[in-house]
Structure 1
Amino acid sequence: MDMSLIKEAPATAEPALSEIAVSVRNISKNYGAVEALKDLTLEFPRGQLTSLLGPSGCGKTTLLKIIAGLLEPTSGEVEVNGKPVTGPGPNRAFVFQDFALLPWATVMRNVAFGLELRSINKSKREDIAAKYIKEVGLGGFENSYPHELSGGMRQRVGLARALSVDAKVLLMDEPFSAVDEQTRRKFQEDLLGLVQNENKTFIFVTHSIEEAVYVSDQIAILLPRPSRVSEIIRPSGFRHKDHDQIRRDPEYLDIVDDIWASLRSYVE
């Protein structure tokens, strides 16, 4: 990939070590003879949203699952808040692409399920769940079941569940890919609000260039497998703007166009 085509976003200071929430160092992952990731190193600033963007099959979800502790790397290490990742842990929560809801449980039970697994008493966990159900726009649906909800509403349940366990790192695997374009845009706007208000670190996998540039403080562009980080882009000129102004901002449009120019040759 000729990343010289990518226009530099306005310069921002590199995050200090104490501001790094997740550190990935020299990660490789092999599936038999297939090298999915090779010597990949990347840092995720605390309290920001980093998107993983690249061609299909470049290892974005594999990297996310390694950070989550759901997959073991062939080599290398991951640290979250300075502590090595050896498996799943309460400092990370995963928002799945396919919602992964309990079909027999209400919205309230689904959102509170992670707290139930931690043996939080029912009254407290339902108070916490109710807060996040309201925050994601599902107030009034506490007693509904997944089959009674639209795809967008089910995804909101998954997001509320991840938020309710108060993990410091949220791992999101293409969470908006199964919803219509209008719902997706609303989710993107809501996500910007969550990043601003929740003081959590978000790691976000997407195939959409526009989405990555719209929601991200940092974009990590991955090469086709064996995947490595090709470029880090930190959009800054429009991050303070109102949501409806971002998509018309010249910096936003230039970054979208330049990333597409570089990725076009990898689209089959």
Structure 2
Amino acid sequence: MSVPTASIHAMPRTESEVAVEVRGICKNYGDVEALRQIDLDFPRGKLTTLLGPSGCGKTTLLKIIAGLVEPTSGDVRVNEKIVTGPGPERAFVFQDFALMPWATVMRNVAFGLELKGMGKAERQSIARHYIAEVGLTGFEDKYPHELSGGMRQRVGLARAFAVNAEVLLLDEPFSAVDEQNRRKFQEDLLQLVEKERKTFIFVTHSIEEAVYVSDRIVLLSRRPSRVAQIIEPTIDRTASPDAIRRDQGYLDTVEEIWQGLKHYVD
């Protein structure tokens, strides 16, 4: 099946507006070609979602940007500097939380700051701020096994924010929670995007979630994955969550994306 023609609903961006540049990224796992010639710009201070069929390489691309996986060819630049591994300007929120089971919420959130050598009082003050931001005040001394899945994911988000990284990389962060909590997390995420003014790169399987939270949506094709289409939803973010989900522009964008993806579904 041929890849749809790229549809980019945006004016060309200047270098100063771009936080992350992906150029000619290819990734092979032995004989399996996962990514083929990916070229993308991620605008500063915006949330961009990677969306595509299962197994298309969304998480692989995210981990290449994070410096956790080395590409077969091509390069990634953050603030015009080539990525050669993990760096303090990027923070990764894992799908499976990746919390230290033996550490309290406070210690988990402050851990990145501890690794930087920050003093205990200062790092706990910063951690406490972000624990409050994600709605976990009062749980500072709890351990991961004492928290629900949704609460553990909030700890992961707080930890990523605490290190003050410029780029937040989120790998399906809400996939392990129920629908009610997922919707609440989506609303919380939009508030944090607005407040923090950081660059977010977000992976999800949900078309509705992508449209609800994203400034830009990158549709990836079936493996070997290429950029199939780029969509910028035009949604009034000042409306209530319920109004957004009923908005015709939201519904039309969901349908447009489904039409672009459905021929990749078996």
What is the deviation of 1:242? 3.1
Q: Which 10-residue stretch deviates more, 94-103 or 258-267? A: 258-267
Structure 2-normalised TM-score? 0.96
Structure 1-normalised TM-score? 0.95
Quote the Cα distance in structure 1 between the aligned partners of 2:238 and 2:220.
Answer: 27
Question: How does 1:195-206 map onto structure 2 within 5 Å?
Answer: 195-206=193-204
Secondary structure of 2:24's aligned partner: strand
* Partner residue, 2:219: 221
Quote the Cα distance in structure 2 between the aligned partners of 1:2 and 1:106.
Answer: 47
Q: Could you tell me which runs of 5 or more consecutive residues in structure 2 were left unpaired when the two chains were aligned.
A: none
Contact 1:128 1:164 in 2 (8 A): yes
Count of matched residue pairs: 265
Contact 1:218 1:232 in 2 (8 A): yes
Over the residues paired in the alignment, what is the CA RMSD in angstroms?
1.5
Contact 2:235 2:244 in 1 (8 A): no
What is the deviation of 1:77? 0.7
Identity among equivalent positions (%) equals: 69
What is the deviation of 1:144? 0.6
Pairing 1:190–2:185 present: no
* Partner residue, 2:262: 264
* Partner residue, 1:180: 178
* Partner residue, 1:242: 240
Quote the Cα distance in structure 2 between the aligned partners of 1:105 and 1:224.
Answer: 40
* Partner residue, 2:230: 232
The match for 1:19 among 17, 22, 27 is: 17
- Once the two structures are superposed, what CA deviation does each residue of 1:176-226 show, in whole Å capped at 9, x if it has no partner? 000000000000000101111101000000000000000000000001111
* Partner residue, 1:108: 106
Quote the Cα distance in structure 2 between the aligned partners of 1:21 and 1:87.
Answer: 17
* Partner residue, 1:45: 43
* Partner residue, 2:142: 144
* Partner residue, 2:124: 126
Pairing 1:87–2:85 present: yes
What is the deviation of 1:237? 3.5
Paired AA for residue 236 in structure 1? T
The match for 1:60 among 55, 58, 61 is: 58
Moved over 6 A (4+): none
Contact 1:12 1:236 in 2 (8 A): no
